[in-house]
Amino acid sequence: MGKGTTPVDLQFSIDRGSPVPLYFQLSRQLAEAIEDGRLPPGSLLGNEIELAARLGLSRPTVRQAIQALVDKGLLVRRRGVGTQVVQSRMGRPLEVNSLYDDLEAAGERPATRVLRIETVPAPEEVAGALGLSGGAAVHLLERLRLSQDQPLAYLRNYLPQGLFAPERQDLESGGLYHRLRKAGITLHSARQSIGARAATGEEGALLAEPEGAPLLTMRRTAYDDTGRAVEYGSHLYRATRYAFELHLLVRS
């Protein structure tokens, strides 16, 4: 495939009998084509209707696959041009830190109370984020993060099996992302959404806040350097003690 042409020379293998979602199969193969140079920077993908027809997939499936790569920074949608492989890639992985790392760097004396380590069937939202079949077994980690001996965040993380076996002492002595890196996983990027809601009675008791107190919410899917989803997190933060700071780039 060359710049500005439709992907007529790329072949994708979609296994409809696989438990792996169809959109994830396509997304992964597109990412591999970008990584190995078969889709060089500047290449245009055919429109979603043409690609869906060629692969025998639904348009929503193709759209979801493309959106996953837009979220990872591999593709960009340009008005009047279409979906295009990004012109330039970062030469090194993005730094994706855990809350523990950030607190430690700020001298906030972080501590962790591990509430739960279990293997559970993946809920639908988690399975979709991690590219797994519904109900696939995942590791569930629930922790309470403290700063200056005061509760700051309630953390719930899901990991695909096979990355590493979570141990209580590892999670109490450092951040999860440090443990992933120690297991040989190179964290490359993350997709994150931030919101807010009122605390339930149980959440308020954990975070030393009254029921109904405002909490910040964060959902994050972290990816390694091959584009594989390696972690999904759903976190709650005390709005009275924590704020998110974002650095934004202005694009012309």
pLDDT digits (tens, 9 = 90+) for 186-217: 888 888 888 999 999 999 999 999 999 999 99
Task: Say which residues have a Cβ less than 8 Å from residue 121's Cβ, sequence separation at least 6.
Answer: 135, 136, 137, 138
pLDDT of residue 198: 95
Q: What end-to-end distance do the CA atoms of the chain give, in Å?
A: 27
Parse the chain into domains and list their residue ranges: 22-85, 99-238
pLDDT of residue 245: 67
pTM of the model as a whole: 0.61
The CATH classification of domain 22-85, taken from the options 1.20.1260.10, 3.40.50.720, 1.10.10.10, 3.30.930.10? 1.10.10.10
**Length of the chain measured in residues:** 252
Determine the number of helices (DSSP H) and then strands (DSSP E) in the chain: 8, 8
Average pLDDT over residues 230-234: 95
Please report where in the chains the tokens 């005390």 appear, as a residue: 238
Please say whether the beta carbons of 29 and 52 come within 8 A: no
pLDDT of residue 247: 60
Provide the pLDDT confidence category of residue 249 given band limits of 50, 70 and 90: low
Which of 86-90, 151-155, 219-223, 229-233 bottoms out in mean pLDDT, i.e. has the lowest? 86-90
Q: Give 44's DSSP letter.
A: B
Phi, psi of 66 (to 5 degrees): -65, -40
pLDDT at residue 33 greater than cutoff 70:
yes
- Which alpha helices (DSSP H) does the chain contain, by range? 22-35, 48-55, 59-71, 99-105, 124-130, 168-173, 176-182, 201-207
pLDDT at residue 47 greater than cutoff 80:
no
pLDDT of residue 2: 44
Q: Which CATH class is domain 99-238?
A: alpha beta
